């Protein structure tokens, strides 16, 4: 059974970039999930549903899908990620969009 568009949860996409070295997707994902659980907790994580999109990982840039209304929470979590695999890093968000196509165009630049 397919839900109508009015009943589906609206999604937003957060484009981010990592400074401080080259990292694999899995390494960043584990650091992000750990920090997200510390900051948001279980109930907010289940409401926000942040998900790293694997197809959009290029040169330490990526896209996270999140439920609308939780974009700022994800931006805060990205800023709180300070270390990946023992290396100090800076992670910052570049753009929030409602379209994955627009986010993919930012990854090329």
Domain boundaries, the chain: 11-108
Model pTM above 0.85: yes
Q: How confident is the model at residue 106 (pLDDT cuts 50, 70, 90)?
A: confident
Residues 6+ apart with CB under 8 A from 44: 70, 73
Task: Write the Ramachandran bin of 69: left for phi over 0, alpha for psi from -120 to 50, otherwise beta.
Answer: left
pLDDT in tens, 26-57: 999 999 999 999 998 888 888 989 999 999 89
What topology is assigned to 11-108 in CATH?
Alpha-Beta Plaits (3.30.70)
| For residue 19, pLDDT beyond 80 | yes
> How far, in Å, CA of 58 to CA of 51, rounded?
16
Position 72 pLDDT exceeds 90: yes
Using DSSP, state whether 83 is helix, strand or coil. strand
């Amino acid at each position: 059974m397919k839900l109508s568009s009015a009943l589906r949860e609206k999604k937003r996409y957060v484009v981010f970039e990592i400074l401080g070295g080259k990292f694999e997707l899995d390494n960043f994902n584990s650091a992000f999930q750990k920090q997200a659980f510390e900051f948001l907790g279980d109930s907010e994580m289940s409401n926000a549903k942040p998900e790293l999109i694997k197809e959009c990982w290029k040169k330490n840039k990526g896209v996270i899908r999140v439920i609308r209304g939780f974009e700022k929470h994800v931006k805060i979590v990205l800023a709180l990620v300070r270390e990946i695999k023992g290396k100090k890093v800076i992670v910052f968000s570049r753009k929030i969009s409602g379209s994955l196509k627009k986010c993919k165009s930012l990854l090329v630049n």
